[in-house]
Structure 1
Amino acid sequence: MYSVADNGLVASGKLEENSKTNSNSRGPIPDLRDFSKQELQNFLDSFDTILSDCDGVLWSCHTPIKGSLAALKELQEMGKNVYFVSNNSTLSIDNFVKKLERLGFPAKKHQVVVPSLVVAWYLTSIDFKGEAFVVGTTAFKNVLRDAGVKISTCDPELVDEDLGAVVEALKDYPGVKAIIHDFDPNASWMKIMRSVISLRRDDCIFIAAAMDALVPVGAKYPLLGTKLFTDVVSQTVGRQPILTAKPSQLLKEYVFKNCDLNGAERTVFVGDTITQDAKFASLCGFKKMFVTSGVATLEDALKEEEARPDIWIPSLGDFLPLFEGLNSGQNSSDQSL
């Protein structure tokens, strides 16, 4: 069966038997639903803090994923520290908290971690002076303003379709000392060029928040992500941005400094992606819990080598019957012991 050691998940017995018939040489990823009552209790005892992605784990755009927030609420009531770590900064922190509350989770502001907060924290840490030109939403900009960052007003508006007018509108503003990119539904050629012009100066830093190539929002086709525009700027000026979203080093530093962690080995990260969530968890040394309620599939996870999840479950909502079985002492897996 499955057991949990102090340093993470350890597979034995049944897992070894299953791996003989699995095409992946490392065998299957343990399914939390197969755990016995004692194994489930051991797993719960192995961590103090759980960090969860949001899109694809708790909701899909505006549609909640059944039972997922209820499971996190149950874990919080057990005494676990719960945090929400998302690459989506399109909501203000207040509205993020309100969304969680509306969906049944009693959240506090300090439990929300998004790239806009990391950018503000980083700029404060380097004693940033000057203005920041932000390609991003109003909510993103307001987080920076709240941290004392001056947002540049040289945001190009519509210009005459004349090259002379375009050149005049794009003159350099030496006061801009940072170019910051995040998701912006109103991104334009003019904003990209403003970024390029400022970044030709060595005294201007380049920061990127979300770097998704595609943004799944539950529609038939995903949206183009920020990476498309940021890459164009990077290639044009020959500079790579400072990254602040999953799976970046700066986000790791922010989480370790601002979240209540009792060591990486006693922390679980829940996510639905390999390239962002699982890789970030690996970077931090967290236990990796994978759910298939979002973007990636179990097959995707099985192919992963460096950031292979430690455990999986179809959705966090599938935790709820396991909790009930644990509390009632009637976990069906005990029948096989």
Structure 2
Amino acid sequence: MMAALRAQHILKLSAERQREFVNSFDVVFCDCDGVMWLIAAPLPHTGDAVNTLKANGKQVIFVTNNSIRTDDEYVKLFSGIGVKNFQKNDIIHPAKSMVYYLKKHNIKQPVFSLCGTASNTTLRSGGIDVRTLDVTQPITTATLPEITEPKEKVGAVLFDINMDLNYTQMVAGTRYLADKDCQFLAGGTDWLLPMTPNLTVPGFCDFLETIQRFTKRPATILSKPSLLLGEIVKDIYQLKDPKRCLFVGDSLTHDIRFGLGCGFQTLLVLSGSTPIEEMLAAPVEDQPHYYADGISDFLKLYENICKKA
């Protein structure tokens, strides 16, 4: 049996309610994968929608769990879909959250990273002394202990999406975490990665769970839906009134839960990982305030408002 419905489609609101809706927020926090694009495929008119929001006085900031691109790559990607005047500080992802956290809490360096190449580039650009384990030779049970033995004391082990992550690196991470003074910081909590309209692949949360379970060390999560990320975002962007913020995402479990926990208004788009049936079946307290087919619905929304002006 379906739960009661809280969420309202933004294009099915009355003309007066549409105007009230767009006047109710100043800042738009927006997920990327499943909202602006799929990981390996575009979504239509998303750049135009962002430009329309900006033209109507909204600040648009992107909050993604995907650190597999550098800032320069994100600038190129956003420019490629037509977003105007995109700046590097317009986006935050787990690698940037890690830089913030490591510095704010004066965590000793170096750190050992299980993150991908782009994340490590971001960490180093942020002044973090990063160590990695590059596995170039075949590993056997005889060589694994020596190769994975900690070479020095590190202040933290970092985990995030890493397409090249392998078993030997994970073993090394667990051995560093045997030191109780070594902290464990993580992104990579998504269950699913929507690659194209016809292909969704597993996320990295099971790898993270394996490390946590073996080490008995729960990670400090610096990605959605962690409310610690919410505090970081509020600090970095100097947010004064969460109720004047709208969070746009495609995941009930990560985006909408995060937005609700932070006290933001929330908008679920159906262009990514959550079908409408899943939204309708969710308990009312877990549903977004609003939903839309995609972020491009803002184009029609503002067109409607202009017609009724």
1:109 and 2:88 are equivalent in the alignment: yes
Amino acid at match of 1:111: D
Question: Equivalent residues in 2 for 1:104-183 (5 A)?
Answer: 104-106=82-84, 107-153=86-132, 155-183=133-161
* Aligned equivalent of 1:8: none
Q: Give the Cα–Cα distance (whole angstroms) in 2 for the partners of residues 327 and 262 of structure 1.
A: 29
Any idea what the Cα deviations from partners look like across 1:226-266, whole Å, max 9, x if unmatched? 21211111111111111000001221011101125341111
Contact 1:37 1:329 in 2 (8 A): yes
Q: Give the Cα–Cα distance (whole angstroms) in 2 for the partners of residues 89 and 178 of structure 1.
A: 18
* Aligned equivalent of 2:50: 72
Aligned-residue offset at 1:220: 4.5
Contact 2:188 2:208 in 1 (8 A): no
SS at match of 2:296: helix
Any idea what the Cα deviations from partners look like across 1:129-159, whole Å, max 9, x if unmatched? 2211111221101111122211114x14234
2:262 to 274, 284, 309: 284
Unaligned 5+ segments in structure 2 are none
User: Identity of counterpart residues, as a percentage?
Assistant: 27
Specify the structure having the higher radius of gyration (Cα). Answer: 1
* Aligned equivalent of 1:27: 5
Contact 2:186 2:219 in 1 (8 A): yes
Cα distance change of structure 1 residues 51 and 156 upon mapping to structure 2, 3 Å threshold: same
Unaligned 5+ segments in structure 1 are 1-22, 331-337
Cα distance change of structure 1 residues 219 and 135 upon mapping to structure 2, 3 Å threshold: farther
User: Normalization by structure 2: what TM-score?
Assistant: 0.94
Q: Give the Cα–Cα distance (whole angstroms) in 2 for the partners of residues 54 and 251 of structure 1.
A: 16
Q: CA-atom RMSD, angstroms?
A: 1.8
Q: Give the Cα–Cα distance (whole angstroms) in 1 for the partners of residues 155 and 239 of structure 2.
A: 34
Amino acid at match of 2:116: T
Q: Give the Cα–Cα distance (whole angstroms) in 1 for the partners of residues 307 and 288 of structure 2.
A: 29
Cα distance change of structure 1 residues 122 and 28 upon mapping to structure 2, 3 Å threshold: closer
1:40 and 2:40 are equivalent in the alignment: no
* Aligned equivalent of 1:315: 294
User: Normalization by structure 1: what TM-score?
Assistant: 0.86
Any idea what the Cα deviations from partners look like across 1:176-235, whole Å, max 9, x if unmatched? 221111111111111010011111111111111121233221174433322121111111
* Aligned equivalent of 2:235: 257
Q: Give the Cα–Cα distance (whole angstroms) in 2 for the partners of residues 213 and 49 of structure 1.
A: 27
Contact 1:132 1:151 in 2 (8 A): yes
Q: Give the Cα–Cα distance (whole angstroms) in 1 for the partners of residues 272 and 138 of structure 2.
A: 43
Cα distance change of structure 1 residues 278 and 164 upon mapping to structure 2, 3 Å threshold: same
SS at match of 1:99: helix
